[in-house]
Amino acid sequence: MIYFDNAATTRPDPEVVKKVAWCMENTFGNPSSLHKLGIQAQLEIDAARKQLAGVLAAAPETIFFTSGATESSNLAVRGAAGAYGRRRKRVITSSVEHSSVREAFNRLEEEGFEVVRISPRKDGNFSISDFTDAVDENTCLISIMMVNNETGYILPVKQIFTQAKRKNPEIITHCDAVQAFMKLPVKPADIKADLVSVSAHKIYGPKGAGALYVRKGIRLIKQNLGGKQERGMRGGTEAVPVIAGFGEAVRLLGSNMSQRKEYTYSLKKYLLMRLSEIQGISVNSREDAAPYIVNISAVGIRSEIMLHYLEERDIYISSGSACSKGAKSGVLSQFGISPEAEDSALRISFSHHNTTEEIDIFVQALAEGCARLKRK
Ligand code: PLP
């Protein structure tokens, strides 16, 4: 099997699997219980919190566990707008966000907020001043992703947040860092983010665990109503095994981030070199995009057709435009990619476990697919 769909999800590390199973067997107590079993479960959560805090260079009290980044971003966007948007009704985001942020903003719009969505310029690049020009004294929130999940495009989050805060020191800044976490440095204090969303299953952790960094002093209106878990920020019994698995995944990836990135750059370079040998392939990702995601188009062949052709050969990739039941996200067209290229877009997303040999097999299958499927 060749798995090039790591931006969708990753195969859990065997050590993570062991940790999750161990917790299910051994620390099954409810962390809210006052007895020994509850305390043991709470200790697992505290240990995971410390791991996350460590890589984010933040205090453990700033980390709140959730069920995944979708929940984290919902809490960030809706929670911040609820807390700070009573009088200041303007909110800003980019037009290429993941649906978890995009839909949260759509909901704010329905509720009476003025939503400003900043698009890339004609050349497919974002301009920092387009964001800062949109900030005014009525703006309560700005939310921007760090790495786009369809193209790997790296948004200039630090510069945008720094300038936004200079113009309006009251503004709350949120970053969806899901595709950057443990791949590029994500330090909330450095990028001037008040809120940062991350997810476990993109980093060889289990599904069902995520976290939101909340800078000390930032208030959020709670979205999961219920108990006082996560210091009152999120009701619901904590998913101890997957939270512990999240901590373990972070621990395992803790060092060597730059080596992994360099290695992945070499994979991307090799892939692009090999792809240049195939006629009819265009590359939609920019050269300076994150190396983990490469978006291409086999023009003339619909994404799903090629995806299933490759699947039959035990090669797994994504259609390049994140789809929800056949509806395209529209993100590629925002980056200036033509409708034809969007219809045939494919996303290859790497793990540091992938190899150039796998790329060779993939490229051969892709070339054969291009030749066969175009003829039909
Ligand atoms: N944000 C981005 C950029 C993503 O790529 C994803 C997952 O595809 C999410 C958010 C949602 O993460 P989760 O699956 O943990 O809810």
Residue with the nearest Cα to atom 7 of ligand 1? 8
Which amino acid, one-letter code, is at 110?
E
pLDDT in tens, 138-152: 999 999 999 999 999
Supply angle C-alpha 197, 349, 301, rounded to 5.
125
Number of H helices, E strands in the chain: 13, 15
Q: Is there an atom of ligand 1 within 6 Å of 145 CB?
A: yes
Residue with the nearest Cα to atom 12 of ligand 1? 69
pTM over 0.95: yes
CB 221 within 8 A of CB 83: yes
Quote the ligand 1 centre to 68 CA distance (angstroms).
8
CB within 8 Å of 19: residues ≥ 6 apart = 241, 244, 245, 247, 248
Give CA 49 to chain center in angstroms: 19
Q: Which of 143, 52, 135 is nearest to 100 (CA)?
A: 143
Quote the ligand 1 centre to 352 CA distance (angstroms).
19
Rounded to 5 degrees, what are φ and ψ at 346? Answer: -130, 140
Run means of pLDDT, 10 residues per run, the chain, 376 residues: 97 98 97 97 98 98 98 98 97 98 98 98 95 98 98 98 98 98 97 98 98 98 96 97 98 92 98 96 96 96 96 95 72 94 96 98 98 80
Burial 296-327 (b: 16+ CB within 10 A, else e): bbbbebebeebbebbeebebbbbbbbbeeeee
pLDDT in tens, 273-293: 999 999 999 999 999 999 999
What residue ranges in 51-169 does DSSP mark as E strands?
A: 63-66, 90-94, 114-118, 139-145
Give the separation between CA 46 and CA 249, rounded to whole angstroms.
15
Q: In this prediction, what percent of the chain has a pLDDT beyond 90?
A: 95
CB 60 within 8 A of CB 213: no
What are the catalytic residues?
323
Residue with the nearest Cα to atom 16 of ligand 1? 70
- pLDDT the model gives residue 368: 97
Give the separation between CA 205 and CA 228, rounded to whole angstroms.
26
Q: Is there an atom of ligand 1 within 6 Å of 149 CB?
A: yes
